[in-house]
């Protein structure tokens, strides 16, 4: 997860600074790249979820990381579309203004969408589905621990990428850097994939490490076969009711969680895209911006564990409400406070605590509410409303910046939507199946 998510998401703003320096593209043009990936994610999310449930995590990781690796290699060939020899004499000036605006970064959009396709197939969704299969009682802590440890690599990669591609210095440059990333992904793909185990039942195990009971010895003839104990049943595992995706989408909880997740992630995605450019505009160096990103990453690592701990002990919807409002407070501080280093690191503390605490809970609450059997496709479908919101966030921030020359209005609005998302989480009470358990199992 480190090598698949860090360069694409957490380093997004660093790439924007480098590409803006190389090609002179506007913040809106650059932000559209992420918007297009969210359109792609919204369309393919249910397919990715279906493939996760049918093929398993291991196969999808191999396929996805291969696509991603070649995507990063192709990133090194990005250039202004108008400078491509066969397109140089095309009459682009006769096209509408919006079309003219998206033509120069067209090659960037294409490779970024290819990378996003690989990341969607081979990273977050299938890996979260795998963890959901392995844990019931300790689901939130397991997801928190996984996300927290994956941030360790971010602490190294973000400053390293910033150092390598900083346009103020002649170092590796962004083209060579993306080649190195692509090769690294392709090299580690197969060895890491071999370590993946899709479901505990495939190995004669049960979730949470629970032990199966021994088979019952010679049951009495007076006991009907329907009343006999199963061959192997858990002594300790809590009863888990599995929703089908058709049942899940009929519940208010599904939509409250999906829209709440989207609202609270809008500001996160916009920050990933615009935090580094915003800090550079305010007089900070790109390296300092990378340290702030690293700072909130460190804090989020700790709070992934704290969020996971509390998520297994208090209602997840309540914990989500608290952590999302902490995240919003960090954004308000950075947006409305003075442009000083203490404010920047105060933002890192609050934003990292809120984002880190809520991160494992947004996934584990779905596993708790809807079960394991159709988790992948339920997560995939929930990405449709999420991605509709996410595609707008970085573009909205970019447009506001290009019009006003600052981010104040954009991030005030996004932080307010973040708080709305927290309220939606709070309203998402646990759904109940109206059908009997056996009917659900046959659905």
Give tens-digit pLDDT for 351-402.
Answer: 999 999 998 999 899 999 998 888 889 988 998 888 888 888 888 998 999 8
Coil, strand or helix: which one is 360? helix
Q: CB of 228 within 8 A of CB of 397?
A: no
**Average pLDDT of the residues in 176-184:** 95
Coil, strand or helix: which one is 234? strand
Please report the domains of the chain, with CATH numbers, ordered by start residue.
2-201+239-430 (1.20.1250.20)
Whether the per-residue pLDDT at 330 is higher than 90: the answer is yes
pTM, entire model: 0.74
Q: CB of 74 within 8 A of CB of 147?
A: no
**Nearest Cα to Cα of residue 33 among 212, 254, 273:** 273
Residues 6+ apart with CB under 8 A from 44: 117, 120
Average pLDDT, the chain: 83
Whether the per-residue pLDDT at 231 is higher than 60: the answer is no
pLDDT band at 252 (very low <50, low <70, confident <90, very high): very high
Model confidence pLDDT, tens digit, residues 153-162: 777 888 899 8
Q: CB of 266 within 8 A of CB of 391?
A: no
Give CA angle at 140 (301, 424), nearest 5°: 95
Residues 6+ apart with CB under 8 A from 380: 45, 46, 47, 48, 49, 50, 52, 125
pLDDT at 94: 54
pLDDT at 111: 92
Model confidence pLDDT, tens digit, residues 190-201: 898 888 888 888
Model confidence pLDDT, tens digit, residues 289-329: 888 888 888 899 899 999 999 988 999 999 999 999 999 99
**Nearest Cα to Cα of residue 12 among 391, 269, 259:** 269
Question: Tokens 């954009």 appear where?
Answer: 410
Give CA angle at 137 (135, 141), nearest 5°: 70
Model confidence pLDDT, tens digit, residues 51-93: 888 888 899 999 999 999 999 999 999 988 777 666 666 665 5
Model confidence pLDDT, tens digit, residues 206-220: 887 777 664 444 444
pLDDT band at 42 (very low <50, low <70, confident <90, very high): confident
Whether the per-residue pLDDT at 97 is higher than 80: the answer is no
- Percentage above 70 pLDDT, the chain: 86
């Amino acid at each position: 997860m480190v090598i698949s998510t860090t360069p694409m998401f957490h380093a997004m703003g660093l790439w924007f600074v480098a590409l803006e320096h190389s090609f002179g593209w506007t913040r809106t043009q650059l932000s559209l790249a992420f918007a297009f990936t969210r359109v792609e994610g919204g369309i393919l999310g249910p397919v990715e979820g279906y493939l996760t449930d049918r093929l398993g995590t291991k196969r999808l990781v191999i396929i996805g990381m291969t696509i991603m690796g070649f995507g990063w290699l192709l990133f090194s060939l990005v250039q202004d579309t108008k400078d491509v020899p066969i397109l140089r004499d095309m009459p682009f000036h006769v096209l509408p203004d919006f079309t003219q605006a998206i033509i120069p970064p067209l090659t960037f959009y294409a490779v970024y969408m290819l990378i996003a396709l690989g990341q969607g197939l081979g990273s977050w969704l299938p890996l979260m589905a795998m963890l959901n299969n392995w844990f019931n009682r300790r689901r939130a802590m397991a997801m928190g621990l996984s996300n927290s440890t994956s941030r360790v690599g971010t602490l190294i990669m973000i400053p390293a990428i910033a150092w390598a591609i900083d346009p103020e210095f002649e170092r590796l440059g962004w083209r060579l850097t993306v080649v190195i990333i692509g090769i690294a992904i392709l090299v580690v793909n197969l060895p890491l994939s071999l370590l993946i185990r899709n479901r505990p039942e495939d190995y004669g195990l049960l979730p949470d490490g629970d032990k199966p009971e021994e088979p019952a010895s010679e049951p009495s003839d007076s006991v009907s076969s329907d009343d006999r104990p199963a061959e192997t049943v858990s002594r300790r595992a809590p009863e888990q009711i599995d929703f089908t995706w058709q049942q899940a989408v009929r519940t208010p909880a599904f939509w409250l969680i999906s829209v709440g997740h989207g609202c609270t992630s809008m500001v996160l995605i916009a920050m990933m895209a615009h935090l580094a450019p915003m800090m550079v505009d305010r007089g900070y160096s790109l390296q300092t911006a990378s340290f702030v990103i690293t700072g909130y990453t460190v804090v989020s690592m700790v709070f992934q564990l704290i969020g996971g701990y509390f998520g297994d002990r208090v209602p997840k919807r309540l914990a989500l409400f608290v952590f999302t409002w902490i995240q919003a407070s960090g954004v308000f501080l950075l947006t409305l406070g003075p442009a000083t280093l203490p404010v920047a690191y105060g933002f890192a503390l609050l934003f990292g605590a809120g984002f880190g605490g809520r991160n494992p809970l947004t996934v584990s609450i779905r596993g708790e509410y809807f079960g394991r059997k159709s988790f992948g496709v339920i997560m995939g479908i929930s990405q449709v409303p999420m991605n509709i919101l996410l595609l707008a966030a970085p573009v909205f921030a970019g447009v506001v910046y290009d019009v006003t020359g600052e981010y104040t209005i954009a991030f005030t609005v996004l932080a307010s939507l973040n708080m709305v998302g927290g309220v939606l989480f709070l309203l998402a009470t646990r759904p109940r199946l109206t059908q009997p358990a056996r009917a659900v199992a046959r659905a």
